[in-house]
Amino acid sequence: MSRDEVELWFDKGVTDGLPVVPPTPERVERMLSGARRDPEELVGVVPPNYGRATVKKIAINAVMAGCRPDYLPVLQAAVEAACDPTFNLHGLQATTHFAAPLIVVNGPIRSRIGLNGGFGVFGPGARANATIGRALRLIMINLGGARPGEISMSTFGHPGRYTYCIAEYEEASPWEPLHAERGLKPDESAVTLFAGEAPHGISDHSSRTAKHLAGSLGSSMACLWNAKHFPLYSETMLVVGPEHARTFERDGWSKADLKRFLVETVRRPYRELLPDEASGEGTNLRFASNPPGPDELIPKFASVEDLHVVVAGGRAGRFSVAIPGWLGTKNGSRAVTKRIQNIP
């Protein structure tokens, strides 16, 4: 009796726990038709095992994840971003924290390949979102060696470690898209890779002014990581829902206005952030050689550069989502944006 071709790939230990599409030579060749690059060209080396992510090896994992050939340029850009030292995939692969690489896609390629930025943006139903995100995870496992309990030591992980890929809903946004804010042209296509926890939903159906809504979002975000963890030593992504975005638009608030408000107003006195009888956790500033005064206000977000704001989600429902990042110090991760090239 011949071996089941699906079970064979489980036996090889190259899956994410779900069945994969067997990468036959014919399927890999068809996938490579979306590359416009030499199959042996090196896109990056994937830590911590530093496996060589050639165009062909990326294509093999794309087949296994269920991608279409026209998704391949997006995946290649995501791999390039992941292998950028600024992103620090090595640390992310081995951390005990919860974070996973979130792929945010901008530009014309979103509609061309059917990426979802609207209803259920973080959920199932869109092949492009599901398979591009999954392909990056398979590459992290099969080329980077990050298997849970071996190299990947995340205490809990989160569902985004299966697949974590969205499109920004640029058509519903009053602001410049993320990739343009980060230096690319609006008509270019790009991916931004952000090391993020799971989405933390924020519900506000009552605020009708930009200031009230920003205050509501900010007070909800004050508990990210820990209610006393001021300032955050990580970047944070705020995914503003379209209905909330319209509130900011009506009052003429720019993205910079929102970021500045969050940095300037989400603060607590230093004395409230120290360990006390009710909580042993406290701000890391207590270890400083020159600690702040007891009434000095400490910001939750260290700078506007640590905040990334995008618009996504369904047009019905006054919700937004906050995504805490993973360590932004010299040992942590910074978001990386790469232009998508060689689009057929």
Choice between 183 and 285, residue whose per-residue pLDDT is larger: 183
pLDDT band at 53 (very low <50, low <70, confident <90, very high): very high
Q: Classify residue 124: in a domain, yes or no.
A: yes
Q: Classify residue 336: in a domain, yes or no.
A: no
Residue 188 pLDDT exceeds 90:
yes
Rounded mean pLDDT of the chain?
Answer: 95
d(CA 102, CA 194): 5
Q: Classify residue 121: in a domain, yes or no.
A: yes
Q: Classify residue 333: in a domain, yes or no.
A: no
Domain limit, last residue, from 150, 178, 195: 195
Q: Classify residue 320: in a domain, yes or no.
A: yes
Tokens 């909580």 correspond to what residue? Answer: 279
Percent of the chain exceeding pLDDT 90 equals 88
Structural tokens at position 25: 């030579």
State residue 330's pLDDT score.
64
- Note whether 109 and 225 are same-domain residues: no
Domain limit, last residue, from 160, 195, 230: 195
Look at residues 3, 4, 61, 51 and name the one whose alpha carbon lies nearest to residue 27.
61
pLDDT tens digits, residue range 83-103? 999 999 999 999 999 999 999
State residue 233's pLDDT score.
87
- Note whether 158 and 212 are same-domain residues: no
Q: Mean pLDDT across the stretch 320-340?
A: 90
Give 324's strand partners.
236
pLDDT band at 148 (very low <50, low <70, confident <90, very high): confident
Tokens 């994410």 correspond to what residue? Answer: 16
State residue 311's pLDDT score.
98
Q: Mean pLDDT across the stretch 246-252?
A: 98
State residue 49's pLDDT score.
95
Q: Classify residue 236: in a domain, yes or no.
A: yes
Q: Mean pLDDT across the stretch 188-193?
A: 98
- Note whether 42 and 107 are same-domain residues: yes
- Note whether 229 and 300 are same-domain residues: yes
Q: Mean pLDDT across the stretch 229-247?
A: 96
pLDDT band at 329 (very low <50, low <70, confident <90, very high): low
- Note whether 101 and 10 are same-domain residues: yes
Q: Mean pLDDT across the stretch 61-80?
A: 98
pLDDT tens digits, residue range 332-341? 899 999 999 9
Reported pTM:
0.96
Q: Classify residue 341: in a domain, yes or no.
A: no
d(CA 118, CA 255): 20
- Note whether 18 and 153 are same-domain residues: yes
State residue 1's pLDDT score.
37
- Note whether 230 and 155 are same-domain residues: no
Residue 200 pLDDT exceeds 70:
yes
Strands 200-203 and 319-324: antiparallel
Q: Mean pLDDT across the stretch 122-145?
A: 97
- Note whether 202 and 165 are same-domain residues: no
Q: Classify residue 342: in a domain, yes or no.
A: no
Cα dihedral angle (42, 46, 50, 56), rounded to 10 degrees? -40
- Note whether 30 and 156 are same-domain residues: yes
d(CA 313, CA 117): 6
- Note whether 128 and 239 are same-domain residues: no
- Note whether 251 and 106 are same-domain residues: no
Q: State how many domains the chain has.
A: 2
Are the CB atoms for 68 and 34 separated by under 8 Å? yes
State residue 336's pLDDT score.
98
Tokens 């809504």 correspond to what residue? Answer: 213
Q: Which structural domain, as residue segments, surrounds residue 66?
A: 1-170+189-195
- Note whether 211 and 268 are same-domain residues: yes
pLDDT tens digits, residue range 205-219? 999 999 999 999 999
Tokens 């590359």 correspond to what residue? Answer: 35
State residue 289's pLDDT score.
85
